[in-house]
Amino acid sequence: MSTLHAPILDWYAAHQRDLPWRRPEASPWSVMVSEFMLQQTPVARVLGPHEAWLTRWPTPAALAAEPTGEAVRAWGRLGYPRRALRLHAAATAIVERHDGEVPAAYEDLVALPGVGDYTASAIASFAFGRRHVVLDTNVRRVLARAVSGVEFPTTAPTRAERDLATGLLPDEAPVAAEWAVAVMELGALVCTAKSPDCGACPVRDQCAWLLAGRPAYDGPPRRGQAWDGTDRQCRGRLMAVLREAHGPVHVSSLVAAWPDHVQRERCLASLLADQLMVQVGDETYALP
């Protein structure tokens, strides 16, 4: 056992947030929906949509029976709506391949549409108590500071980073699953990116970064995510028009939502290519 295990696990037992997908009664489907929604979206923004989604579609089969456009509509303002299409495709595959039950094995999960290594590992770990390395941004940051002594990890996980995380994984599967979520929670609540609360950290006495005097990050520039005036904002405005219309909309409504002709046409073309909307007439558009 690493000397990091006990203090972090004890801290998690005392400070973990009460989140619906972590409760004992949470279904694997609830965990899966949360993992799709939490990609690049804060927990606070996911709580309401997650509850609404599970109320409307309590099983993969319930979602798979609906048109993809309804999944996109229900996704609302969570952003990155292609996640809704991928979740719908995954639900359909679960019905076709696994009798409507979310599979427990990593190999089956990662074979689902829209499910990569991280999501498959997270579902197997959090929903089924399996032993997997779960490397999200929070986990990577905690390990970078506590073990490697640097403020931030690299842009993408490296082999050395994965080997480090694998070496720290407890041997027993239930403990490993608890460890995965505990480190994630520590990164979300204490070892944050902008304002880490080192005084509240359960491993402050052995954190390599803190013991080195919290040296400033000196790696490649870390880019923030712009929003105003971007294609992401334009796409979001166009999608909002379709979600709220509950039927085909005339192109004039899209013009009103985003007057810049060149950017609007570019984003409209990308939304059609991503199958997030369809053209149903010469000048009318709708959700798929």
Which residues form the catalytic set? Answer: 35
Token digits of residue 113: 């549409």
Cα–Cα distances in Å, from 159 out to 135, 156, 165?
A: 12, 10, 10
What is d(CA 269, CA 31) in angstroms, rounded to the nearest whole number? 33
Token digits of residue 17: 């947030």
What is d(CA 219, CA 197) in angstroms, rounded to the nearest whole number? 22
What is d(CA 170, CA 245) in angstroms, rounded to the nearest whole number? 51
Q: Minimal CA–CA distance to 276: which of 238, 246, 244?
A: 238
% helix / strand / coil in the chain, to the nearest 5?
60, 0, 40
In contact, 151 and 216? CB cutoff 8 Å: yes
Give the distance, in angstroms, between the CA of residue 203 and the centroid of all CA atoms in the same chain.
26
Neighbouring CB atoms inside 10 A of 119's CB total: 22
What is d(CA 47, CA 45) in angstroms, rounded to the nearest whole number? 6
Token digits of residue 19: 């989140």
What is d(CA 288, CA 284) in angstroms, rounded to the nearest whole number? 13
